[in-house]
Chain A
Amino acid sequence: MRLRTTIPVALAVLGLTTGCGAADMTRQASPFAHTGGGKSVTLSVQSWVGAESNVAVAQYLLEHKLGYRVDTVQVDEVPAWDALSQGRVDALLEDWGHPDQEKRYVEDKKTIARAGDLGVTGHIGWFVPTYLVKQHPDITDWHNLNKYASLFRTAESGGKGQLMDGSPSYVTNDKALVKNLKLNYQVVFAGSEAAQITQMKQFAKEKKPFLTYWYSPQWLFKKVPMTEVKLPPYKDGCDADAAKTACAYPRTPLQKYLNADFAKTGGKAAEFLKKFRWTTDDQNEVSLLIAQDKMSPEAAAKKWVDSHPSVWKKWLS
C-alpha cells in the first residue's frame, strides 16, 4: 500500500527536479561545465598529439582573449561525432574523414554543422626509418618489401615481417593491403598511439629496422626521421570497398565540426572556432613542445600564441 504511493511521488519529484515533460537527450552538457558562472565551451580532444595542439591553442585563446571557460574531454573520433550530436561537446577540431557519420549527422539529422578546413592536410602511409633507407635504398617501394621481410621479424609476427599498426581508432585498410598485395607480413596492432610511439622510439634508439603505419602531420618525424614506402597510387574510389583495397591512402584536408545549436548560438566562441585555421608547421611546433619537451599543453599554447600574433589575430576579428 505504502509502496504504491511512494513510487508516483518519487517519479513526480524526479520529474520536477529534472524539468517537467520529456528529458531531451540532445541537450545535456557535462556536469562540470558552467560552474564558474561564466560562459563555457567544451572541446573534444582525440588521442593523438596534433589534435591536442589544436585544442590547446583554441583553449588558450578562448580563455585569455575571449573570456570563456573551457572544458576538454578526451574521446576518439567516432564517439566524438556522437557526443557532438548530443551536445556533450561543442566542437571537434580535427576530423580525418568519416563519410558515414557526415551523412548521418550533418545531412540527415542536421545536429552537427561543418566549420570549415583546419588548414592542415593529413596523410596516412607506411613508413620506414630513414637510417634504414640509407642501408637499403630500394626498400621504399612496396614491390621490394617481401625481399626484406626477414629484417622486420619480431616475436609477435610469427615468422613473417611485422607491419606495426596503431590505435584501434585509426582509419586503416592495412590488413586488406597486406593480403591484396600478397605481402609476407603480419599486421601487429600496437593498440594505442602511446604504445606505438614508445616502441618506435625504442627501435630508433638502437637503429633497428621497423615498418609502421604512420601519418603526417606528426611531431615524431622531427625526432625519428622516416621515409614513406610507395604503395600503388591512390585513385578516387579505389578504397571504396575496404576488403578489396590495394592502393595508398588519400590526402585529406582535415575538417572542423561544431554542434549545430552551438554553431548558431555560440556567439564569439563559435565564430572564433569557425575561423581557426593554421598550417602543418604551426601545429607541429606546438605538438613538439607538448610531446617532446613535455610542456603542459597550456604552456606550449602560450609560447606559440606569444610568438605568432599575426596568425591568431585574424581568428578573433
Chain B
Amino acid sequence: MATLTVPALRTRTPAVLRNRAVGKLLLLALITAVLLPLLHGRAWPHHLTVSLTGPLTHASDWIIDNRDTHPLFLYFFGYISNAVVLAVRAVYVTLLALGWPGVTALGALVAWRVAGPRLAAGTAVAFLACGVLGMWEPTMQTLALMVAAVLASVLVGAALGLAGGLSARLDRALRPVLDTMQVLPAFAYLLPVVLVFGIGVPAAVLATVVYAAPPMARLTALGLRGADPEVLEAVESLGATRRQRLLTARIPLARKELLLGLNQTIMMALSMAVIASVIGAGGLGDRVYQALSTVDVGQALAAGIPIVLLAVVLDRVTGAAGADGAKGSRTIGWPYALAVTVAAALAARLLGALDWPNGWSVQIAAPVNRAVDWMTSHLYSGVPVVGGTADWAAHFTTWVLDPIRDGLQWLPWWSLLLIVAALAWVIGTWRTALTAVLAMAAIGVLGVWDPALDTLSQVLAAVAVTLVLGLATGIAAARSDRVERALRPVLDVFQTMPQFVYLIPVVALFGVGRAPAVAAAVVYALPAVVRITTQGLRQVDPAALESARSLGATGRQQLWQIQLPLARRALLLAVNQGVVLVLAVVIIGGLVGGGALGYNVAFGLAQGDLATGLVAGAAIVCLGLMLDRVTQPTERRPGKGA
C-alpha cells in the first residue's frame, strides 16, 4: 500500500540547491582524495565483515530449547500470544454467530451510518460477492485477524503518536524508529517473529502491527502538533487543565488526521494479511498461497478478489468518515443499525442459514485459468515481428539486468559508498547522507555485499521501468479527467491485489528468473507512482498555468516548463515511493527465481535457518533505508512546534 504519509511539501529554489550541491560534492571529492591511498580492492574487504552465523544459530537453539520453560516465555510472550489468540477468536466467533445475513447487514449499516446509502449498498454487494466466490469462511477469518491487528496497531500507533505529539524530544527520538519501521519490507522480519511465537495467528498479528502502526503514530503526532494555536489558547484561557486541553481540544481538532491514520493502518494491515499467510495466518491469504502451490491462478484470484473488495470498502468508508460533509439527514442512528443487525442474525439462526449456502457460489477458477492458458500459450514466444514475452524477458535480463548487476559488482566498494553519500547529501541533509552510507556499509559488514548488489540491480531496473510508465500515465491522467476516472478502479485493483496472485502469470509469461520478479514489482509499484504524479501535477498553482496560457504557451510547453518543474517535490516523492514499494516486491520475487537476498529470506523461513534468513532480512532493511534516504525529497523535521 502507498505509504503516502505527511508529504510536507516545501518549496526551495533550485538555484540555491544547485550551488549548495556543488559545494557538497566538492567537499566529498576532497575527503575521497585524502582517503584514497587507504582504499583498495573491489569487493567488500573480507576483514571488515562480521559473521553472525554462530551467535544467531545459538540464539535460535536457545529459544527453541527454552520456549516451554523459561519465565520470559511463560510470563511475557506467552501472555501476548494468548491475548492475541483470544482476541481473534472472540471476533471470529462473533462473526460466525452473526451468520452471513448478520455480518452483511452490520457492514452495510455501519457504512450507511458513517458514509451514506451509496457506500452502504457497495458494502453489502462486496460482502455478498465474497460469499458468491465461495470464500465466506476465509473472509471471516481474515476479518477477525484484521480487527485484532488493526486494533492493536491503532493502540500502539496512537500511544506512540500521543507521546510524539506532546513532547518534541520524544518526537525527535521516535522519528527514525518510525522511518525504519516503514521502509522495512514485511517479508524480512517474519522469521524472528515466528521463532519466538511459532507459526500461526499470534506471529502474524504481531508482524502486522510492526508494519501497520507507523502511519497511525505519524498522523496522530502530526494532528496533535498541527492543532490551531488560537483555539488552544482560548481553551487555556478558560482555565482548562493539561488533560482537559488534550481531551476537549487537541484530540477533537486532530480528528481528521486520526481517521486518515486509521485508514492507512487498515490498508497496510490488509496487505500484510496475505504476506502473513506464509507463516500460517490462515484466512484469504492462506487460500491464495495454497492455490499458488497447485499453480491455480483462478483459485488464487477467487481468494484475491475478496481482499480487493474488503480493501476498497474499508478505504472508502474510513475515507468518508474522515472527510467532512458526508453526513446529513440521510444517515441512520446507531440503535436502529444495531437492532436491524440483531434481527437479521436472529432470523438467519431461526431459518438455519448462518453458513453461506453451498449452492450459491460461482466458480470463476476454470474460465480464469483458461484465459491465462490462452494468454501464455499465445504470447510466450513466436509472436510475429515483436517476439514473445519470453524473448523480451531474456533480452531484458541480458541487456538491462546483467549490465547493471555486473556494473555494480565491478565498482570498488568505497566508490559505491561515495555515490550513495553524494546522492543522499545533494537531495537531503548530511544526516540522511550519513544514515545512507552507514546502512550501505552495514550490508558489507554483514557479508552479503554481492547478493545485495544483485538485489539492488533488480530494484534499480524495476524503478526505472516503473517511473517511465508511471510518469507517462500520471501525466495523461493529470491532463484528462476522463482518463483519471477510467484509471481509478484499475489502480485500486492493482494496489490491493495480493502480490502472490500475479506471481504465476508473470512466470508463465516471462519464465523463471529475475525478469518476472521485476515485472511483478512494476505492477505493484505503478499505482502509487501514477497517483502521486497525477496529484502533484494537478496541485500546480492554477494562476501560474493561467498566466502561461495567456502568454501563448502550447500544451507541451506548459507541461515541461511549468507543471513538471513546479511539481518537482511530488515527483521526487513518487520516486521515493516507487523505490520502497519495488523493494518490497523484489523480495517476493525470490519465489519466482529472483534469487539474491529475497531467496535467502525465503530459504531462512522455509528451513528455519535464522542465520541465513535474518542476515538477508537485515541487509534488505539496510538497502531499504539507504534507498529511502537517497531519494528522500522532504526534510523530516516539519519545523512546527507543539
Decide if B550 is an interface residue (CB 8 Å cutoff): no
Q: Are B82 and A19 in contact (CB under 8 A)?
A: yes
Contact with B along A303-317 (1 / 0, CB 8 A): 000000000000000
Spot the interface stretch: B340-348, B393-401, B428-436, B574-582.
B393-401
Decide if A173 is an interface residue (CB 8 Å cutoff): no
Given known pairs A23-B81, A73-B282, A167-B606, the reply for A83 and B198 (CB within 8 Å) is yes
A120 to B591, CA, bound (A): 28
Total A-B contacts with CB atoms under 8 angstroms apart = 220
Spot the interface stretch: B234-242, B288-296, B441-449.
B288-296
The size bracket of the interface on A is 35 or more
Which positions 103-151 of chain B face chain A at CB distance < 8 Å?
Answer: 141, 144
Decide if B319 is an interface residue (CB 8 Å cutoff): no
Contact of A192 among B194, B514, B592 (CB under 8 A): B592
Decide if B78 is an interface residue (CB 8 Å cutoff): yes
Q: Which residue of B lies closest to A77 (CB)?
A: B606
Q: Are A78 and B607 in contact (CB under 8 A)?
A: yes
* List of B residues within 8 angstroms of A158 by Cβ: 402
A286 to B293, CA, bound (A): 15
* List of B residues within 8 angstroms of A24 by Cβ: 68, 74, 78
Contact with B along A15-46 (1 / 0, CB 8 A): 10111001111101111100100000000010
Contact with A along B64-77 (1 / 0, CB 8 A): 10011001011101
Q: Are B398 and A155 in contact (CB under 8 A)?
A: yes
Q: Which residue of A lies closest to B363 (CB)?
A: A296
Decide if B280 is an interface residue (CB 8 Å cutoff): yes
Given known pairs A14-B83, A31-B85, A168-B606, the reply for A202 and B293 (CB within 8 Å) is no
A109 to B606, CA, bound (A): 22
Q: Are B397 and A168 in contact (CB under 8 A)?
A: no
A194 to B289, CA, bound (A): 10
User: Which of A26, A83, A89, A195 has its CB near the most chain B CB atoms (within 10 A)?
Assistant: A195
The size bracket of the interface on B is 35 or more
Given known pairs A23-B74, A48-B293, the reply for A88 and B199 (CB within 8 Å) is yes
User: Which of A73, A74, A109 has its CB near the most chain B CB atoms (within 10 A)?
Assistant: A74
Q: Are A191 and B200 in contact (CB under 8 A)?
A: no
A130 to B402, CA, bound (A): 32
Given known pairs A28-B82, A31-B201, A79-B199, the reply for A168 and B603 (CB within 8 Å) is yes
User: Which of A22, A30, A32, A164 has its CB near the most chain B CB atoms (within 10 A)?
Assistant: A32
Decide if A86 is an interface residue (CB 8 Å cutoff): yes
Q: Are A25 and B593 in contact (CB under 8 A)?
A: no
Decide if A95 is an interface residue (CB 8 Å cutoff): no
Decide if A221 is an interface residue (CB 8 Å cutoff): no
Spot the interface stretch: B45-53, B373-381, B415-423, B528-536.
B373-381
Closest CB in chain B relative to A120 CB, distance in Å: 18
* List of B residues within 8 angstroms of A86 by Cβ: 67, 198-199
Given known pairs A78-B606, A191-B592, A196-B512, the reply for A32 and B366 (CB within 8 Å) is no
**13 CB < 8 A contacts A-B:** A23-B77, A31-B88, A32-B89, A35-B93, A49-B294, A52-B294, A82-B199, A88-B198, A189-B593, A195-B504, A205-B380, A290-B294, A294-B298
Complex A-B, nearest 3 residue pairs according to Cβ-Cβ distance, in ascending order:
A23-B78, A169-B606, A31-B89
Seen from chain B, the residues whose Cβ lies within 8 Å of a Cβ on chain A are: 64, 67-68, 71, 73-75, 77-79, 81-83, 85-86, 88-89, 92-93, 96, 141, 144, 194, 198-202, 277, 279-280, 282, 286, 289-290, 292-296, 298-299, 365-366, 369, 376-377, 380-381, 390, 393-395, 397-398, 402, 503-504, 507-508, 511-516, 589-595, 598-599, 602-603, 605-608
